[in-house]
Chains A and B, each alone.
Chain A
Amino acid sequence: DIQMTQSPSSLSASVGDRVTITCRASQSISTYLNWYQQKPGKAPKLLIYAASSLQSGVPSRFSGSGSGTDFTLTISSLQPEDFAAYYCQQTYSILGMFGQGTKVEIK
């Protein structure tokens, strides 16, 4: 199975900060990498697919990059509604494993 490792597991940031979350795959997955946002008590929401494509309706302050084994989700200017958990997911293999998540908290 392909394992996905996110870092950090949590971070504290202020409104307006630039935030970067990384995701590493245990083997090359090309650009078969998606990012989801989840707020407490809610279902996950797709932000980024194919490593860098922004899902329709998602603010442009969210961006994704990377290929192979190393990927990054960047929030260019953190907004109050962005405090949430973020998960990466690989879909290179049939078993679409998720990373363990990164919780973005208010500083």
Chain B
Amino acid sequence: EVQLVETGGGLIQPGGSLRLSCAASGFTVSSNYMTWVRQAPGKGLEWVSVIYSGGSTYYADAVKGRFTISRDNSKNTLYLQMNSLRAEDTAVYYCARGLVGATPFLDYWGQGTLVTVSS
């Protein structure tokens, strides 16, 4: 059974750093593309970052230069390193598995972890 479990969220002051983890089971993280999506309180879904099976990474403009996506193949875990955090980064962060069939889509999602950036 495919499962994704995010951890690492919490309350952090503006300018601080936080690392989110997404532990995967039932499949191999490095064989798929993996995505981070966030949702600010009461708002819609916002695509944040992707890492492809080959290791290429991409970021939304809002986080480029501050966030880094990575994975540890030995732990089958995805990460999101978040630096220089701002109030507008406050959100529930979801990791999701991507599949590429006829077109790419996100078929499994974690339960999310809440990041609150506030002084």
- Residues in chain A within 8 A of chain B (CB atoms): 1, 30-34, 36, 38, 42-46, 49-51, 53, 55, 85, 87, 89, 91-92, 94-101
B46–A95 touching, CB < 8 Å? no
B94–A34 touching, CB < 8 Å? no
Q: Which residues 16-55 of B have a CB within 8 angstroms of A?
A: 35, 37, 44-47, 50
B47–A95 touching, CB < 8 Å? yes
With A53-B102, A91-B105 given, is the CB distance from A43 to B94 under 8 Å? Answer: yes
B110–A43 touching, CB < 8 Å? yes
A31–B103 touching, CB < 8 Å? yes
With A44-B94, A98-B47 given, is the CB distance from A91 to B103 under 8 Å? Answer: yes
By secondary structure, the A interface counts as loop
Complex Cα distance, B35 from A34, in Å, reads 15
Chain B, interface residues (CB within 8 Å), range: 20 to 34
A-chain residues with CB within 8 Å of residue B101 when the two chains form the complex: 49-50
- A sample of 18 more A-B contacts (CB under 8 A), given A32-B103, A46-B105, A95-B47, is A1-B61, A31-B103, A34-B105, A34-B106, A36-B106, A44-B94, A44-B96, A46-B106, A46-B107, A49-B107, A53-B102, A87-B44, A87-B45, A89-B47, A91-B104, A98-B46, A101-B44, A101-B45
Chain A to chain B: the 6 pairs with minimum beta-carbon distance, closest first: A49-B105, A43-B109, A91-B104, A101-B44, A98-B45, A50-B103
Listed A/B pairs (17) with beta-carbon separation below 8 Å: A33-B103, A43-B109, A44-B37, A44-B94, A46-B107, A50-B101, A51-B103, A87-B44, A87-B45, A89-B45, A89-B47, A89-B105, A91-B103, A94-B50, A95-B47, A95-B58, A100-B44
B46–A49 touching, CB < 8 Å? no
B107–A44 touching, CB < 8 Å? no
A-chain residues with CB within 8 Å of residue B96 when the two chains form the complex: 44
Residue picked from A34, A38, A94, most chain B C-beta under 10 Å: A94
Q: Which residues 74-115 of B have a CB within 8 angstroms of A?
A: 94, 96, 101-107, 109-112
